[in-house]
Structure 1
């Protein structure tokens, strides 16, 4: 199959191995609107075949995520068979068996030079307990894995997130906070580039260009997170032998129903603030 060349303008490769999750947080960004996504999963062999088409770039890792990526039955096999020239990191809630993971995965497979940990663990106070999570992270660290914890600053959980940060820092764990995106008690939270993008009150026609390769659990490629989560028509599939990335503006008829992930102002992969995943022309 034709190699997949990632444009230099791209900042992220989002690989959603599974869109199912073993937690159900009330503020999950996957369900910002309807969350009617396609839960079909391609096999581990197909994931490896598709991802190994990507032409490596030292500064751009593949991020295995979800849902919860470890719920894919071939999670460890996929991780171990992605070609070594491709950098890999993992976004996870770490509810998997860490002992099996340590036995089967070389920590150097998920370790690279970057300003943040290669395994990024989400802590959600409403659905997780901190102390067992910290124990798992410390076990992985002792076995050579690069692991950090992130907590969302949800208005109802800020005190607990800050307590967790203090606890983790004292334990030698890098704990970072993330801005809450979404609505709580009738108020919208988040810093967004485009006014009205997430209001869900209108649908406007625009031109939009992404800086991310977004691959759903079926191997389909989407223009943005909103298209992925709302199960809109994909623009290709990584198993299509002729698939290639077109670094171009595309017509969109649903501006106003954007997912916060696409339009928030955030840090890029170098942890430099001011990046937004998409560029929109009105």
Structure 2
């Protein structure tokens, strides 16, 4: 049996990227802004189960299964059902899967935890998804007592349409929330950032950085941040290595100025308290 990996108590997030590929292609996807190479090696179901069952937390911190689109992984159902039942699981998805298969294969109890937001968070993208079909699928899972909600990016070009999405969600009794649009559009930078000079800079700076997230790539490598994971820069370990452990400390980073917006934005923590940032950065 592989030795346990202790997750620090102050960690706010465990992100498991089963795949960086997606079955949709949205023009505003933040992954496009970083030149993401979606074709990465994937761990298989048995390897993911071995890796995720190593994680040891002392808090009610779920393992968030995400991507790209995680449900397109060929072993998706095997992975979910192989994770020890006592571990909490969240899912980020565009819900393009067959809901009957999902309901018949994964118990609603896999998504039970005591945090103030849904465990299954469905991303709705107006460019590439049909609203009524999405509402029907979300409602079906909700009627079967899954913890689920509908989320979308508050894109400046879709504000009128999002008002309709909000109205339809309210009519169907579905929790609906918008997420802040991050990045550049028409020469303007959007987003609320803790470190305002950390993105879209013409110069790079060396800093000390400490993360509060455990991010695992499709290959099983562990990274400090989304920037490093997406660009395959400086992995800090291999989740399948018997010697891997989380070193909760500041490390030197030479890419300040090209940070991924997800890493340095201000947001809610998992208790829905605003003002959290995934990383803490100091000058060298």
Normalising by structure 1, what TM-score?
Answer: 0.97
Structure 1 residue matching 2:28: 3-state secondary structure: coil
Q: Give the equivalent residue in structure 1 for 2:199.
A: 198
8 Å Cα contact 2:17-2:68 kept in structure 1: yes
Alpha-carbon deviation of 1:161?
A: 1.5
CA distance in 1, matches of 2:38, 2:177: 29
| Alignment of structure 1 residues 1-282 onto 2, 5 Å | 1-36=2-37, 39-282=40-283
**Deviant stretches of 4+, over 6 Å:** none
Alpha-carbon deviation of 1:165?
A: 1.1
CA distance in 2, matches of 1:171, 1:37: 35
8 Å Cα contact 2:135-2:169 kept in structure 1: yes
- Evaluate the alpha carbon distance shift between residue 27 and residue 57 of structure 1 in structure 2; reply closer, same or farther with a 3 A threshold: farther
Q: Which runs of 5+ in 2 are unaligned?
A: none
Structure 1 residue matching 2:208: 3-state secondary structure: strand
Structure having greater relative contact order (Cα 8 Å, sep ≥ 6): 1
What RMSD over aligned residues (CA atoms) do the two structures have, in Å? 1.1
CA distance in 2, matches of 1:193, 1:212: 16
Kindly provide the CA deviation profile for residues 167-188 of structure 1, in whole angstroms up to 9, marking residues without a partner as x: 1011100000111001111111
CA distance in 2, matches of 1:38, 1:252: 25
8 Å Cα contact 1:38-1:217 kept in structure 2: no
CA distance in 2, matches of 1:57, 1:16: 22
Deviates more, 1:137-146 or 1:271-280: 137-146
CA distance in 2, matches of 1:227, 1:36: 12
CA distance in 2, matches of 1:29, 1:197: 16
CA distance in 2, matches of 1:36, 1:138: 34
Q: Which runs of 5+ in 1 are unaligned?
A: none
Deviates more, 1:190-199 or 1:43-52: 190-199
8 Å Cα contact 2:9-2:57 kept in structure 1: no
Alpha-carbon deviation of 1:58?
A: 4.1
